Amino acid sequence: MPTVLPEILSLNISRKKGTRKDPVEAVELIADYGISGDAHAGDWHRQVSFLASEAIETARAAGLDVSHGDFAENITTRGIDWCRLPIGTRFHLGGATLLEITQIGKTCHKPCAIYYKMGDCIMPKQGVFAKVITGGTIRVGDTIQLL
């Protein structure tokens, strides 16, 4: 039986922080910045956010009507339990890009638009953040390789 490689299911961007992100087919990752055109890009440690589709499925099973991008994650994946990886883990997206995990979970100081729409937010517990080491273009369907 063939092994299924971890992959990108959805790429999501928004112009404003604290809102759901809209899906796109491809994004440009910029070293030391993040995703071109996304509100969270910048010179800080949370340039790109990740959420496992398995976490979204759990939220759906609990009765939430949610989809990819609804929790403001940039990259929705399948096949990786991000929360079990240590800070400092490096990985390739689509082969050429290189990212490094910088934070697992986050503190929400006040409920955002996502919380009010969904009634809950899983990013504080299951979201993972990374910085871009080597940029490049990534697309939906690209594989993820942990180093």
* Predicted pLDDT at 43: 96
- Report if residue 57 sits inside a domain: yes
The DSSP bridge partners found for residue 75 are: 11, 50
Instruction: Write out the two tokens for 54.
Output: 């398995």
Residue 1 lies in a domain: no
Evaluate whether residue 2 is within a structural domain.
no
Report if residue 73 sits inside a domain: yes
112 residue type, one letter: C
**Per-residue pLDDT at 122:** 65
H helices of the chain, in order, are 53-61, 113-118, 123-126
Single-letter amino acid code for the residue at 99: L
pLDDT by 10s per residue, the chain, length 147: 456 789 999 999 999 987 889 999 999 999 999 999 999 999 999 999 999 999 889 888 877 788 899 888 999 999 999 989 999 999 999 988 999 999 998 766 566 555 666 566 666 677 899 999 999 999 999 999 999
Number of domains in the chain: 1
Domain of 55 in residue numbering reads as: 7-146
Is residue 62 a part of any domain in this protein?
A: yes
Has residue 61 been placed in a domain?
Answer: yes
103 contacts 71 by C-beta, under 8 angstroms: no
CATH number at residue 98: 2.40.33.20
